[in-house]
Structure 1
C-alpha cells in the first residue's frame, strides 16, 4: 500500500476522529487513580468511545482482546487490561487508544504519573512527550520523513535513554496502520518527501535503560529487556504546507 494523500473531506473526518479521541484521553487521564484495575480503565475507555457512536479500533485488531492498551512501568506497549492488575501509587501508566469515526481511524497515546513518582520517572515522561514535539518541527511539506525520526532520536539521546527500535509509528487513515513506517531512531536515508494531506501517527517509545525489548507469553505485551521504565507519547497529525495539525490534542 502506498502513502495516501487525504482529500479535504477525508481530512475533515479524520479531524473529528482525532477530536473525539482527545476527549477519550482527557477523561481517562482524569479517572486514573491508585486502586483501579487496568480492566476498569479499558471498560471506561470503551464506554466513552461508543458513547460517541464510534468503534474502538484496537478491539479484536489482529486478535487484541481490549479497547485500550494499558501498559504499566516496564511495559512499553500493548499491555492487556486485567481484572487482577491494580494501579499503584507511584506507577507510570501508558494508555494507547484509537477509534473509528465514519470509517476513519485516529490513534494516540499518553503516559501518566499516578500520584507521586520518582524524579527519573517524571523526567522520562516529560522527555518522551518532548521527543514528539521535537520530531514534528520537521513534519512539514517538502521535508523528508526521516527528518522527524532523527529529531526524535537526537532529543532522547541527550538524556542517554534507550529508543525502542522494534516498534515504530505509521501512516493512518481508513486503516489503523498504513504506509509509511516512521522510526523513532536515527536513519541513514532521507525517507519519503512529505506532502500536504499525509496523515501520520508519530509515537516515540522511550526507555529509561536499554532500547532492547521482549514480548511476554501473551504475545502482545512488550516489556523492556532490563526491567527499566518505559514511556509512550503519540498523536495523529496532518502534514500541511506550514506547521502540522495535531488531530488528537484537546484544543
Structure 2
C-alpha cells in the first residue's frame, strides 16, 4: 500500500496482479500498487501563419535563384556565336589588268600595279565601316547588313543606296579572309548611278550609324537607271567620283548627275 501524503502532479495507475482487492484509506482515496505517469502541463497552441509565410518565401527565393542560374547558363552556352570585331588598315593594290587575284599575304606589289587603295577598316557583326583614303581625301562607306543599305559619307553630303552583295563581302567572310591571308578579287568594276532630288529629309530608323554620320548634311538616294548591272571598267571611262573595296572587286562609282546636285545645293544656300 502506498500512502499519499499530499497532492502531487503524479497520476497513479492501478496494476492488477491478483483477483481484485480494493482497499480504501480513511480519507477516501483508493490504494493500489502504482506505476507513475508524469503529467506535462499543456502549452498554448502556436499560430502556423508565420511559419507558412516563411516556407513560401523560401520556396519563391529558390525558384528565382534557379531561374537566374538557368538564364546565365543559357546565355553562356546557347547563345549564337558572334563574329569578333576587326579593326586595322588595308592597302589594296590596283592592277592594270582587267582580272587579277591578289593575296593579302603578299608584301610587295609587282610591276602590274600602278597604285594602291588605302583603307581603314572597322568590321563588326553586321556593319562594315570603311574609310577610304584617296589622294588625301577621306570618304566613309558604311555597309549596314541589318538594314541592307550602303551609305557614302563625304565632307559636304551623304548618299544612300541598296547594299549590293555582289560587291560587298559579309563581315564574317571578310574578317576570316583578312585574318587567314586569303585571296581577294581586286579587279576593277564600274558602276554609274544617279541621285534623286530633292534631298531626303530623314533616314530610316534602322540605319542608325549612317544617320549619326550624316547629321546636318544633305542626303541623296542613289539609283541605277539600268538596274543592278556591274560592268568592267574601260580605259576610256571618265574619272570616278568614289572608289572603294569591300571584299569583292574595287568599285569605281560615278554619279552621272553630280553637277545637277551641286547646282541644287548652291540654289538652296542662296535662298
Q: What TM-score, normalized by structure 1, do the two folds share?
A: 0.26
Higher strand proportion: 2
Structure of greater Rg: 2
TM-score normalised over the length of structure 2: 0.25
Q: Which has the higher helix share?
A: 1
Asked which structure has the greater RCO (Cα within 8 Å, sep 6+), the reply is 1
